[in-house]
Amino acid sequence: MAKKEELRELLKAELKDDFIGEELAGERRLFVDVHNRALVKTAEILMKQGARYQVGVGYESRKGGRGLALVHTFAFDNDALIVIVRTFAPEDNPEFDSLTPIIPGAGWSERECIDLLGFRFKNHPGPKRLVLSDDWPEGIYPLRHDVPHDLMPPATRDVVFRLEQPPPGTSIVPFGPFHSSLHEPAHFSVYVDGENIKGCEYRGFMTHRGIEKLAQTELTYNDVPFVAERICGICGSVHSVNYAQAVEAAAGIKISRRAEFIRVVMLELERLHSHLLWLGVAGHLIGFDTVFMQAWRIRERIMWLAERLTGNRKTYGMVIVGGVRRDINKEKAEDIKQVLKEVEREMLSLEKAIINDKTIHKRTRGVGYLSKEDALKWNLIGPVARARGIAIDARKDHPYAAYDELEFEVPVVDYGDVWGTLVVRVKEVYEAINIIRQCLNKMPADGPLAIDLDAPIPSGRQALSVVEAPRGEAVHYVLTGEENKPERWRVRAPTYANLQAVPEMLMNNKLADFPIIVGSIDPCISCTDRVVVIEIGLQKIKVMRKEELETISRKMRFEG
Amino acid sequence: MWLWNKLKQLAISLRAGVVTLHYPFEPRPAPAGFRGQPVWDHTKCIGCAGCANHCPARTIFLRDICQEVRILLYDSARCTYCGRCVDLCPEKAITMSDKFELATDNRQDLTQAIELFMMTCQRCGRCYDLEIKNYIDRLTLLGYRYDSLEVRKVIKKSTSEFQPEMLEKTATYQRPERLEK
């Protein structure tokens, strides 16, 4: 690992006294502590070396008097190395330099720290509220240790999130929080000039459940995988595997090879059903419901297979710290092979039938275009990045579980639009089938499913784990703590990184393409929706009701 | 070309036929190993609280209501059906049944309560089961995390640790003004 040595020496030489220390870790991680004042400089050095920004984590030290800590992680994808930079600030003055001016992708992580821990960031361009609800009282920071996990401040009404002013000459079309086609609550305030989108502001985090806080207060190490699985309804296994890997890395636990292979099988089954689900939803959003029906019919076989393997369609509950809970024996392996054969055959015939269909091409080609440079700037990940010519995949770049022994392709295309993501995802379906077959052949015949943890997990150790979820790279940061529970557990789901670039993708597209770009929002503004018309000069907000909208549309039709 | 694609799609749809199941009218038995509603066998349970201490959803409660009776209460409302209790039960007293049709208008239908007759150890004051045999050694096996006789309940509430000043701050919190025009 020459790169690790090189970076360590470089940082030591450049930072001199500001380089505080290094935590010992495996070959693929470099944990360094730097002085508060050198944070931006460190980030600049690392970005110049070709790093990709991953996530920022803030936490409050439970002991040791070092106050509040901020962790930034940088991935070097070509060298299978992740650099974790930690810096400290005293409790009475939690001020850090913001990285957002040089790395736009760091904006959300820092806004989250402001909300949850009360940090202050110098030079942050928009330190608005991100995670907490609008009526959460000022001065109470949920991730501080003196705030209990079940604190419920009295709810207040009539509190409004202060949305930005739209650019002159545009109107706002609000999407959400509850929209006929929104799968989850989120609010997009889209600025339109006629049919063209000129910008967008996002207000989300309406389903923030405080899972990280729960893990730090109430749950123990082996409770967390089951809660982690419920972070996402689609890629649950990703989060439980990721968390378990992080704890195992922190504690130095080596799990059996067989358990690693079983984890890979579950991860790839999840990728299979997730991509088929996405294909169906994408078809539905562009009004091509044949794809929706047929993709979900194929997907159903995988759901039933998962039910036979794990005891449930979703939330498999397979992973615990130290291994897995259920075996994949000969019979189950045969079952998997049989299902995969059928899925592959049906998927091929479906692909042949739809891939040249004009409907898909007209609705996806050139839509949501983002250049490779912009994608790199926003640190995009997963199929969204691979559709823009960036060959990153955590399975290849930072191999975990049993992926180092498996042979597979990472499909990369350079269309840069929605069509590209569709192609990448369809190709990944076949790769996932290929990987599961290899797993079943290469899996060692014996080995314990889960190993016994004979010693307590040592406290105060950091670990970072990455797993390639169907949507991109998911990152889990764990700092081990006392009393059999993690002191800090930070989850960065792939959408966290990708959603930040959505306003950029929407730019200059048609309003009708909004749903397929965002992937979950329908263009059909139903009668019950309201349009907010803002007259810029007067700053007067007028909300139109259904009747008024109907009157206007009728008038337009008759007059035009 | 366009027509050819549509014909291919038609062929796929026709070959698939009707896939909707007549589910509520025809029973759909769950596959073997399904994780349905957990069921406690009161003849096997020794009241060790292993399940209560390790339930990720904290939906199993144990409480000593007097020196002799320990109540085990399973409240299905929050249960995630992970089956962790089954893994950890030293007596194999819990099984995941294949019951999944659990919709009901009465929450009590899903709640299971077991009253366990326990004896109190004269030395340590802990409850133990006398009916089957002396299992007191096994009580320590699975990490009896919350067995405080003073608190008399298994689930810890952290609100008691919350500083009163912080609560005060919340109580006097003024809501922000509505945005004016």
Residue A484 is given by DSSP the state: T
* pLDDT reading at A554 higher than 60: no
The residue ranges of every structural domain in chain B are 29-152
> If you average pLDDT over residues B111-122, what whole number do you get?
76
**Segments of A176-328 assigned E as strands:** 187-193, 196-203, 319-320, 323-324
**What does B86-104 look like in DSSP terms, one character per residue?**
HHH-TT--EEE-S------
Task: State how far residue B116 is from chain A, nearest Cα, in angstroms.
Answer: 26
Please list every residue in chain A whose beta carbon sits closer than 8 Å to the beta carbon of residue B179: 160, 162
Please give the Cα distance from A135 to A114 (Å, whole number): 16
Of the candidates B6, B159, B170, which has its C-beta nearest A140's C-beta?
B170
* pLDDT reading at A556 higher than 80: no
Can you give the pLDDT at residue B169? 57
Q: Closest Cα partner for A401 from A453, A345, A491, A466?
A: A466
Helices (H) and strands (E) in chain B, counts: 4, 6
Can you give the pLDDT at residue A83? 94
Q: Where are the alpha helices (DSSP H) in A286-387?
A: 289-310, 330-354, 358-364, 372-377, 382-386
Identify the weakest region by mean pLDDT among A144-148, A224-228, A400-404.
A144-148
Tokens of B10: 């038609």
Q: Inter-chain contact B170–A151, Cβ cutoff 8 Å?
A: yes
> If you average pLDDT over residues A77-89, what whole number do you get?
92
Please give the Cα distance from A61 to A460 (Å, whole number): 9
> If you average pLDDT over residues B107-116, what whole number do you get?
83
Q: Inter-chain contact B82–A294, Cβ cutoff 8 Å?
A: no
Can you give the pLDDT at residue B180? 43
* Domains present along chain A, CATH in parentheses: 2-156 (3.30.460.80), 211-492 (1.10.645.10)
* pLDDT reading at B65 higher than 80: no
- How does residue A522 score in pLDDT terms, banded at 50, 70 and 90? very low
- How does residue A519 score in pLDDT terms, banded at 50, 70 and 90? low
- Whether the bond into A177 is cis, omega within 30 of 0: yes
Q: Inter-chain contact B170–A350, Cβ cutoff 8 Å?
A: no
Q: Inter-chain contact B175–A300, Cβ cutoff 8 Å?
A: no
DSSP reduced 3-state for A100: coil
Please give the Cα distance from A125 to A134 (Å, whole number): 20
Nearest CA in chain B to A291: B9
User: Which residue in B1, B2, B12 has the most chain A C-beta atoms within 10 A of its own C-beta, making it the best mutation to test that interface?
Assistant: B12
DSSP reduced 3-state for A112: helix
Task: State how far residue B3 is from chain A, nearest Cα, in angstroms.
Answer: 9
Residues A121 and A127: beta-carbon distance below 8 Å:
yes
- How does residue B150 score in pLDDT terms, banded at 50, 70 and 90? very low
| Percent of chain B clearing pLDDT 90 (strictly above) | 10
Please list every residue in chain B whose beta carbon sits closer than 8 Å to the beta carbon of residue A220: 54, 145
> If you average pLDDT over residues A518-526, what whole number do you get?
36
CATH class of B29-152: alpha beta
Can you give the pLDDT at residue A540? 40
Q: Inter-chain contact A353–B83, Cβ cutoff 8 Å?
A: no
Q: Inter-chain contact B179–A160, Cβ cutoff 8 Å?
A: yes
Identify the weakest region by mean pLDDT among A59-68, A275-284, A357-366.
A59-68
| Percent of chain A clearing pLDDT 90 (strictly above) | 39
Can you give the pLDDT at residue A395? 93
pLDDT single digits (tens) A265-309: 999 999 999 899 888 988 888 888 999 999 999 999 999 999 999
Please list every residue in chain A whose beta carbon sits closer than 8 Å to the beta carbon of residue B178: 158-160
Nearest CA in chain B to A228: B56
> If you average pLDDT over residues B88-115, what whole number do you get?
86
* pLDDT reading at B34 higher than 90: yes
Can you give the pLDDT at residue B131? 46
ipTM surpassing 0.90, yes or no?
A: no
Identify the weakest region by mean pLDDT among A60-74, A322-336, A407-421, B57-71.
B57-71
User: Is A85 or A133 the better-scoring residue by pLDDT?
Assistant: A85
What is the overall mean pLDDT for chain A?
A: 84
- How does residue A547 score in pLDDT terms, banded at 50, 70 and 90? low
User: Which residue in A226, A297, A309 has the most chain B C-beta atoms within 10 A of its own C-beta, making it the best mutation to test that interface?
Assistant: A226
User: Which residue in A162, A164, A336, A357 has the most chain B C-beta atoms within 10 A of its own C-beta, making it the best mutation to test that interface?
Assistant: A357
In the stretch 57-116 of chain B, residues with CB closer than 8 A to chain A read 57-58, 80-84, 87, 96
> If you average pLDDT over residues A524-536, what whole number do you get?
27
> If you average pLDDT over residues A162-170, what whole number do you get?
80
The listed range with the strongest mean pLDDT (A64-78, A208-222, A277-291, A419-433) is A419-433
Q: Inter-chain contact B175–A227, Cβ cutoff 8 Å?
A: no
User: Is B142 or B139 the better-scoring residue by pLDDT?
Assistant: B139
Task: State how far residue A213 is from chain B, nearest Cα, in angstroms.
Answer: 12
* pLDDT reading at A87 higher than 60: yes
Can you give the pLDDT at residue A532? 32
Tokens of A34: 């730097």
Can you give the pLDDT at residue A406? 93
> If you average pLDDT over residues A208-224, what whole number do you get?
86
Task: State how far residue B8 is from chain A, nearest Cα, in angstroms.
Answer: 5
pLDDT single digits (tens) A99-147: 999 988 888 889 889 988 999 999 888 888 888 888 888 888 988 888 8
Please list every residue in chain A whose beta carbon sits closer than 8 Å to the beta carbon of residue B19: 297, 300
DSSP reduced 3-state for A159: coil
* pLDDT reading at A441 higher than 90: yes
Please give the Cα distance from B11 to B171 (Å, whole number): 65
* pLDDT reading at B95 higher than 70: yes
Can you give the pLDDT at residue A403? 93
Can you give the pLDDT at residue B147? 41
* pLDDT reading at A529 higher than 70: no
User: Which residue in B59, B78, B166 has the most chain A C-beta atoms within 10 A of its own C-beta, making it the best mutation to test that interface?
Assistant: B166
Of the candidates B6, B11, B173, which has its C-beta nearest A153's C-beta?
B173
Can you give the pLDDT at residue B50? 82
